[in-house]
Amino acid sequence: MWKELKEYKLTIGGTTLVGAAIYGIGEYGSGGDARKIMVATVIGGAMGAMIGSAVAIGISYARGVGATPYTPILGALGAAVPLAFEVPSLAKGRRSTINKELIRNVAVGGTLGSASGLAIDYYRGQM
């Protein structure tokens, strides 16, 4: 999997930076202190990295193997969904969840996405 991710490091790096910037600017605009801004930037960067990795894995496997592995793709996207839902409220200057809740939601989303992807891969005979 690392080989596939290395080929798309520009895509992953770009989505990581965009996610980090969105969250950092949003927290700064809502009057957060330096620690909150740093935590928000790390959370946004993680969201971007997960989305970029999911896209890169999907593209690479579809080209090379012809069969797309849904476990890493749905796991990364499942973890990124709660973060993506937070972006509109962050842009308006008010957070709808605190960081602790957001991290818990990411863990739950990633687990559900991975389990769904594993079930699909198992059903298709890829496991």
> Which two tokens mark 82?
């709660």
Does the pLDDT of residue 95 top 90, yes or no? no
Contact 20, 49 (CB under 8 A): no
Separation of alpha carbons 116 and 105, rounded Å:
16
In the predicted model, is pLDDT for residue 112 greater than 90? yes
pLDDT in tens, 29-86: 777 778 888 888 888 898 888 888 888 877 777 676 667 778 888 888 888 888 888 8
Kindly report the number of other CB atoms within 10 A of residue 21's CB atom: 14
pTM as predicted: 0.66
